[in-house]
């Protein structure tokens, strides 16, 4: 930690001012959607462990912030951004955090922020490599979303998910980890979501909304693939999010060519890459 720098908590009363600085960053994964997401969450549950931090208490000029969230998992979630042309201040802010190894997951940051994370990796992960995964960052315009047909096939009903569905979702989630069910429960509890249920009430497909405002955890059971439920989940969730007045974005694993093809076929456009590191 640098002797001359420190992290100062941004009071909750100032979060909306910080968010408004990012009003034109509605496709940035750690921009307006992300900040607004946690403002809404804390309004619903003031006891959530969400902390916005600034470098030396100065965030008003360039919007530099670091956000930590404790979901009750071994790794805290870490979000960060700056409106400055340089990454210097966000790097210095990150350097003020305590021990990195086995403590944080760098959650869904933009390609612009990757040099900052690479710097942290070289400086603080000497005993092991900081593992970074890449996704393609997609966006769909409101005009495209307005054309989506969201009629469910026979025998399928679309409903909001319940907290009881979290176990099913977490069990099948390829990126599950110790305690990740707490993260899944938070997404169901605080964000819009959607599940597809068969005539017996069994959950067979779902899509949630991540804290960065994007679609996430999209999944269709093997028994129900080939029915178009994947694209139906995406289209239906896109309409839900667009109806809130929010930009619709989605990360897709770079190597998942089938999923990328589906998103592109229905009108999503690749606008960036996003990265996840721990």
Is residue 14 helix, strand or coil? helix
Q: What is the mean pLDDT of residues 9-30?
A: 98
Among residues 67, 65, 79, 74, which one has the least CA distance to residue 117? Answer: 79
CA dist 88 to 77, 93, 202, 276, Å? 21, 9, 50, 21
The first and second tokens of residue 93, run together, are 């802010």
Residues 111-154: tens digit of each pLDDT = 999 999 999 998 888 766 788 899 999 999 999 999 999 999 99
pTM: 0.95
CA distance 12 to 40: 11
Within 10 angstroms of residue 107's Cβ, the number of other Cβ atoms is 24
Residues 97-114: tens digit of each pLDDT = 977 767 899 999 999 999
- Domains (ranges, CATH) in the chain? 7-130 (3.40.630.30), 140-272 (3.40.630.30)
- Cβ pair 250, 142 in contact under 8 A: no
């Amino acid at each position: 930690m640098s002797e001359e720098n420190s992290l100062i908590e941004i009071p909750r009363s100032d979060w909306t001012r910080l968010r408004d600085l990012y009003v034109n960053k509605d496709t940035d994964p750690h921009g307006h959607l992300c900040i607004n997401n946690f403002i809404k969450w804390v309004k619903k549950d003031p006891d959530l462990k969400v902390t916005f931090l600034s470098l030396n208490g100065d965030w008003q000029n360039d919007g530099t912030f670091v956000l930590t969230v404790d979901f009750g998992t071994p790794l805290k979630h870490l979000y960060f951004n700056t409106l400055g042309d340089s990454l210097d201040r966000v790097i210095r802010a990150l350097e003020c955090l305590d021990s990195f190894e086995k403590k944080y997951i760098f959650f869904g940051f933009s390609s612009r922020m990757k040099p900052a994370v690479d710097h942290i990796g070289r400086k603080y992960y000497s005993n092991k490599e900081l593992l970074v995964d890449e996704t393609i960052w997609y966006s769909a315009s409101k005009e495209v979303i307005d054309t989506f047909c969201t009629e469910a096939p026979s025998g399928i009903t679309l409903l909001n998910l319940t907290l009881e569905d979290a176990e099913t979702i977490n069990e099948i989630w390829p990126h599950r980890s110790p305690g990740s069910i707490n993260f899944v429960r938070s997404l169901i509890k605080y964000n819009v979501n959607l599940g597809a249920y068969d005539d017996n009430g069994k959950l067979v497909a779902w899509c949630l909304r991540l804290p960065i405002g994007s679609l996430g955890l999209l999944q269709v059971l093997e028994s129900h693939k080939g029915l178009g439920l994947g694209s139906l989940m995406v289209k239906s969730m896109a309409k839900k999010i667009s109806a809130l007045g929010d930009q619709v974005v989605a990360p897709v694993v770079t190597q998942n060519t089938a999923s990328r093809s589906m998103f592109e076929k229905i009108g999503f456009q690749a606008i960036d890459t996003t990265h996840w590191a721990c």
